[in-house]
Amino acid sequence: MIRITQILKLPPETLNKALLLGGPGIGKTEITEQYARELAKKEGRTFVDLDLIDEELAHKLARDCEGYFVYMRVAAPHIFPEDVSIPKPLASGDVIDFLTPVRLKILSKCRGLFFIDEMTNVKRADQRVFFYSLVQEGKAGWSWRLSPDIIIVLAGNPPSMSADAEPLPAPLLNRLTVLNVEPPTVDEWCAYMNEKFGDAWERAVCDFLKESPSFLFEPPKEPEGLEAYPTPRSWTRLAVQLHILGGAKADEDLAAEVIYGNVGRSVGSKFLNFYLSKVPKEFFRKTSRVLEKI
């Protein structure tokens, strides 16, 4: 097993066609996007997230993507075989051609990274078979093929950590490099928070986790339930929310519920005691209408 942050050190040839298998909320999506951004910079290309571009740029890239590095994340359960090649009758004759959605057209021409998340949550058999040729040959449908310059990365959760996760078919696994990944260290998580949020997060969370690093990731004992649990993702959300609450001077009860709602009562109560010891008591005595800002 490797730490999720070690993915950044892999050459593209090793990461291509890899399945990142690890617990929910440990940073698989974040680290894959960071990998794409860093690789784009290393290659001297302009990074473009295909989820954030307008239609004008999308059509431009579909025609010519020289000098660009494209990134696209999609949840595997949302990919259906019929979405890739859309039939269209020709103006004359008794034949048809197949149209390709513009973002898939971009992936057929450009250098970039295609991140397929939630792979273990796919339920339909036809969807699973669809990924066989997509991973092995970069081909799907009648007319669409990925560019050979596209890196394919998949991610999923072990069934023991997700009620929706299921084992993958052996033929699909045989087409992948399965990398079992674990959470980052506390120091790595704190460095990530500083880089992404600057001063806009509550650093007491980092101080607490440095004293109790085992609480950074504590998966639930049951894969289903209504109790929150601590992961790097939920600590990130909590640290940002506490910063907002601090600026608005929330009361103690509200702060406690936000803590419990992100990391659960067991770990949350320990963090709350730590947090109260570091924050002046008058901070919690003033009420506020801050909840709608979270």
Q: Are 190 and 213 in contact (CB under 8 A)?
A: no
pTM of the model: 0.85
The domain spanning residue 84 has which CATH number?
3.40.50
Which of 121, 152, 182 terminates a domain? The answer is 182
Indicate whether 88 pLDDT > 80.
no
- How far is residue 220's CA from residue 232's CA, in Å, rounded to a whole number? 14
Q: Which helix (H) or strand (E) holds 46?
A: strand 46-49
Within this chain, do residues 170 and 46 fall inside the same structural domain, yes or no?
yes
Please report which confidence band the pLDDT of residue 193 belongs to, taking 50, 70 and 90 as the band edges.
Answer: very high
Within this chain, do residues 204 and 135 fall inside the same structural domain, yes or no?
no
Within this chain, do residues 176 and 214 fall inside the same structural domain, yes or no?
no
Within this chain, do residues 177 and 47 fall inside the same structural domain, yes or no?
yes
How many distinct structural domains can be found in the chain? 2
- How far is residue 8's CA from residue 15's CA, in Å, rounded to a whole number? 9
Which of 147, 182, 217 terminates a domain? The answer is 182
**What is residue 286's predicted lDDT score, i.e. its pLDDT?**
41
User: For every residue of 67-112, which 3-state class applies, written as one string?
Assistant: CEEEEEEEEHHHCCHHHCCEEEECCCCCCEEEECCHHHHHHCCCEE
Within this chain, do residues 76 and 155 fall inside the same structural domain, yes or no?
yes
Query: Using one digit for the tens of pLDDT, what is the confidence trace for 49-80?
Result: 999 999 899 999 999 999 999 999 999 988 87
Query: Using one digit for the tens of pLDDT, what is the confidence trace for 106-122?
Result: 999 999 999 999 999 98
Indicate whether 285 pLDDT > 50.
no
Give percent of the chain with pLDDT exceeding 90. 62
Within this chain, do residues 150 and 234 fall inside the same structural domain, yes or no?
no
Within this chain, do residues 112 and 50 fall inside the same structural domain, yes or no?
yes
Q: Are 116 and 128 in contact (CB under 8 A)?
A: no
What is the average pLDDT across 251-259?
A: 86
- How far is residue 59's CA from residue 107's CA, in Å, rounded to a whole number? 12
Residue-range definition of the domain harbouring residue 271: 186-293
Within this chain, do residues 220 and 250 fall inside the same structural domain, yes or no?
yes
- How far is residue 260's CA from residue 246's CA, in Å, rounded to a whole number? 17
- How far is residue 28's CA from residue 24's CA, in Å, rounded to a whole number? 8
